[in-house]
Amino acid sequence: MKIKSRKKSRLHEIWQQLKKNRLAVVALFIIILLILVALFASFIAPYPYSQQNAKLSNAPPSAEHLLGNDKLGRDILSRLIYGSQQSLSMGVIAVAIAATLGILLGAVAGYFGGWVDSLCMRLLDIYQAIPMFLLSVALAAIMGPSLRNAIIALGIGTVPGFARIMRASVLTVREKEYIEAARAINAGNGRIIVKHIIPNAIGPLIVQITMGIGGCVLAGSALSFIGLGVQPPIPEWGALISDARSVMRQYPTQALYPGICVMVSVLACNLLGDGLRDALDPRLKN
Amino acid sequence: MARYIGKRLLLLIPVLLGIALVVMIIIDITPGDPARMMLGAQATQEQVDALRDQLGLNDPLPVRYVRYIWNVVRGDFGTSLMSKRPVISEMMERFPYTVKLVTLGTAFSILIGIPLGIFAATHQRTWKDNTVIFISLIAASMPSFWFALLLIRFFGVKLRWLPISGVETWQGWVLPCAAMALGLAALIARQVRSDMLEVIRQDYITTARAKGLSEGKVIYRHALKNAMIPVIMVIGGIFGSSLGGSLITEVIYSIPGLGQYIMTGLNNRDYPIIQSGILIISTMFAVIILIVDVVFALVDPRIRLQYARKRKGKGEKQSEDKESKEVAAS
């Protein structure tokens, strides 16, 4: 009970800091809105995403179809709304995978030090020597194009950043008294890492996770754009841009909307990340 | 200095060996038989088996790995399954395109990013600063392939100023380089701004001002020089990651570079191309990072001195330094 209330006050403190940054609050609001749109897409979208209407091929915006129709006569607004599900889940799940692996790797490397640390860091060196986007593209292509494989590829591609920050953070926590106390009461290494090291060292990762989601939405849309992510007819923002490419000459607005969606969500993540960094920075407190 | 560079070059070898192994394992654990791919669905099992034997695909992974490395050392990067030509000669034809694209793109982004960053820092907390920050935030959040399409639509289709694809003429390079440079310029501008702001508060800047130097001299001679050190790191990283990013740009603008080559290799499951392509791009990436680190050591007297008196306080100092670089890089 006591622990719970303390946690609350810490969150409250961060919120108090964050509130001062108007842009970050707006960004948070946009992110919540996007998540709600994705969750309730089937209620909000006026039409099913794959409903075709040959008569309305490339139709301009009208009262029934607010953003017009694509070349197969599908309602663009509905496809954008459903697209948010795929695009956002790509970002969130990929970062969840990357952060989990990165936190474990970083915690183990930082906590044990010595040859374990050297081994992990050299592995990361190899990992990072392959440009991240190239690695994701190669993984996605070799595993076969699908949403699941694209998410795995993105997740695996972004592990090193998380692992390095976690390790640096663990190094500052490792020598604290409470770790020594845990060791003194004969807690095992696994318990110390999971119960004491990770919760205390995870702070600096919050910013990285927020911005990572934006980065993965961006990279995920690029994967779908080159046909390695979500497969048609399921809509995803990157895939929608790719669809609109063939009619770019006559109907450029079709490509405009999904790009704006990607941009706004990535921008919101970056702004919130910036805000959180300032809110978490003890130097800026008071 | 020579010893430092030598040491870094030696450290490069295990990294490259590791990359080759990682790529081989990834290809190995994914389903799909390259021999079957080459021969098509009608081929008999005997034909497939014969080809597998001929390609050496039946050998265990360590044997294939050692053989691959041995071939690479001798300059043989394998033969493309589709075109039946050596991968290395096909790559060499495409190499100049990618290098040109990445170099021009990075140069563009530096030319735009650094002045913008300085401008924002010297006008801190004014609307000029805010505008630069906001524009760079938007630019960094834009999908580069989307921006590339918009550029084509506007300058290629609507205004007809520039060709929409192909790089036969110099005009053809403008749009792809601009598309690559946008996001990178935004990153550089933000980095320059925050480093400049940090440096401007230092005592030696106050000293420079106090002795009556003009503002221009203070900014460009004293502040910028010191602020550039972390910026060089960022530029190195950007240069490297744009090697990966060039993939999409090359596909959109049909530039016959390495990225497009690897994309075709991936689509056709042409394993020698995938394997050697990733190895070669990663080598370029690693060499760029190495050059950046060396430049870094050359321009920063603190690091230069540290290597000069290396014998005294070896151990910790170096690893400490590396640590801080790693954090900065991530």
Instruction: Report CA dihedral (B49, B55, B57, B61) to the nearest 10 degrees.
Output: 160
Q: Is A225 on the interface with B (CB under 8 A)?
A: yes
CATH label of the domain that carries residue B296:
1.10.3720.10
Q: Is residue B2 part of a domain?
A: no
Closest by alpha carbon to B7, among B318, B330, B323? B318
Residues 196-215 of B with CB under 8 A from A: none
**Structural domain boundaries enclosing B162:** 98-311
Closest by alpha carbon to A56, among A67, A72, A45? A72
Q: Quick one: angle between helices B224-252 and A132-143, nearest 10?
A: 30
Q: Is A199 on the interface with B (CB under 8 A)?
A: no
Which of B140, B152, B278 has the CB atom closest to A134's CB atom?
B278
Query: What's the Cα-to-Cα distance from A32 to each of A37, A88, A96, A215, A219, rounded to whole Å?
Result: 9, 12, 18, 18, 21
A138 contacts in B (CB within 8 Å)? 23, 26, 262, 266, 274, 278
Q: Is residue B321 part of a domain?
A: no
B20 contacts in A (CB within 8 Å)? none
Length of chain B: 330
Q: Is A143 on the interface with B (CB under 8 A)?
A: yes
Q: Is A223 on the interface with B (CB under 8 A)?
A: no
Higher pLDDT, B326 or B4: B4
Closest by alpha carbon to A30, among A219, A214, A264, A221? A264
Q: Is residue B59 part of a domain?
A: no
Which of B26, B245, B285 has the CB atom closest to A129's CB atom?
B285
Q: What's the average model confidence in pLDDT over B129-150?
A: 88
Alpha helix (H) residue ranges in B142-223:
144-151, 171-200, 203-210, 215-217
CATH topology for A89-270? MetI-like fold (1.10.3720)
Inter-chain contacts counted by CB atoms under 8 A, chains A and B? 140
Global ipTM: 0.84
Q: Is residue B326 part of a domain?
A: no
A165 contacts in B (CB within 8 Å)? 327, 330
- Min Cα distance A134 → chain B (Å) is 5
- Strand partners for A69: A75
Average confidence score pLDDT of chain A? 85
Q: Is residue B77 part of a domain?
A: no
Q: What is the largest CA-CA distance in chain A?
A: 76
The predicted-structure confidence for B233-244, as pLDDT tens digits, reads as follows 788 778 777 887
B145 contacts in A (CB within 8 Å)? 222, 225, 241
Q: Is B9 on the interface with A (CB under 8 A)?
A: no
Q: Which residue of A has its CA nearest to B147?
A: A259
Is residue A249 classed as helix, strand or coil in its secondary structure? coil
φ, ψ for residue A75, nearest 5 deg: -70, 120
Q: Is B149 on the interface with A (CB under 8 A)?
A: yes
Q: Is residue B27 part of a domain?
A: no
Q: Are B184 and B242 in contact (CB under 8 A)?
A: yes
- Asked whether residue A36 carries a pLDDT value surpassing 90, the answer given is yes
Say which range, A17-21, A71-75, B319-323, has the weakest mean pLDDT: B319-323
Higher pLDDT, A263 or A204: A263
Q: Are A81 and A44 in contact (CB under 8 A)?
A: yes
Q: Which amino acid is at A286?
A: N
A187: left (phi over 0), alpha (psi -120 to 50) or beta: beta
Which of A21, A132, A133 has the most B C-beta neighbours within 10 Å, making it the best mutation to test the interface with B? A133
Q: Which residue of A has its CA nearest to B143?
A: A218
Which of A126, A253, A271 has the most B C-beta neighbours within 10 Å, making it the best mutation to test the interface with B? A126
Would the pTM of this model clear 0.95, i.e. be above it?
Answer: no
> What pLDDT sits at residue A259?
92
Q: Count how many domains chain B has.
A: 1
* Cis peptide preceding A235, ω within 30 of 0: no
The predicted-structure confidence for A60-98, as pLDDT tens digits, reads as follows 787 777 787 887 778 888 889 998 998 999 999 999 999
- Asked whether residue B277 carries a pLDDT value surpassing 70, the answer given is yes
Query: What's the Cα-to-Cα distance from A232 to each of A57, A69, A74, rounded to whole Å?
Result: 17, 16, 13
Contact check, Cβ <8 Å, B244/A133: yes
Residues whose CB is less than 8 angstroms from the CB of residue A184 and which lie 6 or more positions away in sequence, other chains included: none
- Min Cα distance B222 → chain A (Å) is 26
Q: Is residue B41 part of a domain?
A: no
Structure tokens at A40: 């309730």
- Asked whether residue A251 carries a pLDDT value surpassing 90, the answer given is no
